[in-house]
Structure 1
Amino acid sequence: MSDPRWAIVVNPTSGQGKGAVLGKLVAGYFSKHDLNYQLITGISAQSVQSDLLKFINENHDCPGVIAVGGDGLVHLVLQVVVPKKIAFAAIPAGTGNDFVRALKWPLGEINELLDHVTTTTPQVIDLGLVDGEWFGAVLSSGFDSTVNEKANALSWPKGRSKYNLAIALELPLFKPSHFEIELDDRTISTEAMLIAVGNGSSYGGGMQVCPQASLTDGFFDVMVLSPISKLEFVRVFPTVYSGTHISHPEVNVYRTKNVRINSQTVAYADGERIGALPVSAECVAGAGLTWLN
Structure 2
Amino acid sequence: MTSEITLFVNPTAGRGRGARAARPAASALRDAGFSVRTVLGTDAADALDRARAAVAAGTGALIAVGGDGMVSLALRAVAGTDVPLGVVAAGSGNDYARAHGLPVRQPAAAAVVAATALKEHGGRPADLGRAGDRWFGTVLASGLDSRVNDRGNRLRGPVGRFRYDLALLAELAALRTVPYRISFDGGPAREIEATLVAVGNAPSYGGGMRICPGARTDDGLFDITVVGPCSRTTLLRVFPRVYRGSHLSHPAVTALRARSVTLEAPGVTGYADGEPLGPLPLTATAVPEAVRLLVP
TM score, norm. by length of structure 2: 0.92
Change beyond 3 A, Cα 1:148–1:207: same
Quote the residue 1:5 is aligned against. 4
Quote the residue 1:159 is aligned against. 159
Specify the code of the residue in structure 1 equivalent to 2:16.
G
Question: CA separation in 1, counterparts of 2:99 and 2:154?
Answer: 28
Deviations 1:109-146 (CA, angstroms, capped at 9, x unpaired): 54444333223221111100001210000001010111
Contact 1:3 1:36 in 2 (8 A): no
Specify the code of the residue in structure 2 equivalent to 1:144.
D
Question: CA separation in 2, counterparts of 1:71 and 1:152?
Answer: 12
Structure 2: unaligned runs, 5 residues or longer: none
Deviations 1:157-213 (CA, angstroms, capped at 9, x unpaired): 353454333222211112010111101256331110110000001000011111110
Question: CA separation in 1, counterparts of 2:137 and 2:65?
Answer: 16
Question: How many residues are paired up?
Answer: 289
1:129 and 2:130 matched: yes
Specify which of 179, 194, 197 is matched with residue 192 of structure 1: 194
SS of the counterpart of 1:208?
coil
1:23 and 2:22 matched: yes
* CA-based RMSD: 1.8
Specify the code of the residue in structure 2 equivalent to 1:237.
F
1:67 and 2:64 matched: yes
Change beyond 3 A, Cα 1:115–1:30: closer
Question: CA separation in 2, counterparts of 1:153 and 1:241?
Answer: 22
Quote the residue 1:210 is aligned against. 212
Change beyond 3 A, Cα 1:198–1:159: same
Specify the code of the residue in structure 2 equivalent to 1:269.
A
Contact 1:219 1:255 in 2 (8 A): yes
Question: CA separation in 1, counterparts of 2:182 and 2:2?
Answer: 49
SS of the counterpart of 2:102?
coil
Give, in angstroms, the shift of residue 52 of structure 1. Answer: 1.6
1:45 and 2:48 matched: no
Quote the residue 2:87 is aligned against. 90
Question: CA separation in 1, counterparts of 2:256 and 2:270?
Answer: 18
Give, in angstroms, the shift of residue 64 of structure 1. Answer: 1.0
Question: CA separation in 2, counterparts of 1:281 and 1:136?
Answer: 12
Change beyond 3 A, Cα 1:223–1:186: farther
Quote the residue 1:103 is aligned against. 100
SS of the counterpart of 2:173?
helix
Specify the code of the residue in structure 2 equivalent to 1:157.
G
Specify which of 219, 226, 230 is matched with residue 232 of structure 2: 230
Deviations 1:267-293 (CA, angstroms, capped at 9, x unpaired): 100000001000001000111110334
Structure 1: unaligned runs, 5 residues or longer: none
SS of the counterpart of 2:79?
helix
Question: CA separation in 1, counterparts of 2:244 and 2:158?
Answer: 25
Identity within the alignment, %: 35
1:183 and 2:184 matched: yes
Question: CA separation in 2, counterparts of 1:274 and 1:188?
Answer: 23
Specify the code of the residue in structure 2 equivalent to 1:228.
C
TM score, norm. by length of structure 1: 0.93
Question: CA separation in 2, counterparts of 1:254 and 1:3?
Answer: 42
